[in-house]
Amino acid sequence: GENVEQHPSTLSVQEGDSAVIKCTYSDSASNYFPWYKQELGKGPQLIIDIRSNVGEKKDQRIAVTLNKTAKHFSLHITETQPEDSAVYFCAAGGGTASKLTFGTGTRLQVTL
Amino acid sequence: GAGVSQSPSNKVTEKGKDVELRCDPISGHTALYWYRQSLGQGLEFLIYFQGNSAPDKSGLPSDRFSAERTGGSVSTLTIQRTQQEDSAVYLCASSLAQGANYGYTFGSGTRLTVV
């Protein structure tokens, strides 16, 4: 089955700096890669996703890149703000998979 | 409804008691998932329902855990004879068709505390 690894487990950046979270996956059949943000006391919320037919996708300050050859994908947050502080999960799925496989999460803290 | 609704939001129960957790998915979403999240940990898959197909129960940790989905909509997760290690946040998610292709919408979870 699919295996997703996520790094780092914790990340602290100063407000205004960029943050990068990286994930690798094992199943070359995976073709859908969403990212979720979980704020304290809430369920994870989808913030951006990418499919294997594109290499990069942007949405305002958030971007995701995908390298299918290397089987890794990354989340980039630019101009970080305190409200970006949360736990971020990557996931992989698609094809014949019935469910997403999640990474172990990255706790991002944006300091003033 | 507009989102995935879970109830109760918090549940405190005594060790050995049974509990039922409810999930009301987004209307029209055929796939429904239950996950468990222990304090500060990742997402542990429990069970998956897709339409009228047999559920994927491969993530249920023991036979004390069961779930059903009535009429292809509301789902109930039941934990019998609760143990302290069952304390966690139980998250429900729903999706159009197979969530592995469309992503999930999560509810806010039920925080279960077994004392």
**pLDDT tier at A54 (50, 70, 90 boundaries)?**
confident
Contact B48, B31 (CB under 8 A): yes
Across residues B39-52, what is the average pLDDT?
Answer: 89
Specify the higher pLDDT residue, A44 or A97: A44
Residues of A in contact with B104 (CB under 8 A): 34, 44, 46, 100
**pLDDT tier at A11 (50, 70, 90 boundaries)?**
very high
| pLDDT over 80 (residue B100) | no
* Rounded-to-10 torsion of CA A26, A10, B47, B115: 150
| pLDDT over 80 (residue B99) | no
CA distance A32 to B28: 21
- Omega of the bond leading into B8 within 30 degrees of 0 (cis): yes
Tens-place pLDDT, residues A16-38: 999 999 999 999 999 999 999 99
Tens-place pLDDT, residues B3-30: 999 999 999 999 999 999 999 999 989 9
Nearest to B35 by CA among B13, B3, B59, B68: B59
Q: Is B31 left (phi over 0), alpha (psi -120 to 50) or beta?
A: beta
Predicted local confidence at residue B96, as pLDDT? 87
Residues of A in contact with B100 (CB under 8 A): 32, 93-95, 97-100
CA distance B92 to B77: 10
> Residue written as tokens 């918090």?
B10
Residue type, A112: L
CA distance B115 to A37: 30
Identify residues of A whose CB sits under 8 angstroms from chain B CBs.
32, 34, 36, 41-46, 49, 89, 93-95, 97-100, 102-105
Contact A86, A37 (CB under 8 A): yes
Tens-place pLDDT, residues B67-92: 999 887 999 999 999 999 999 999 99
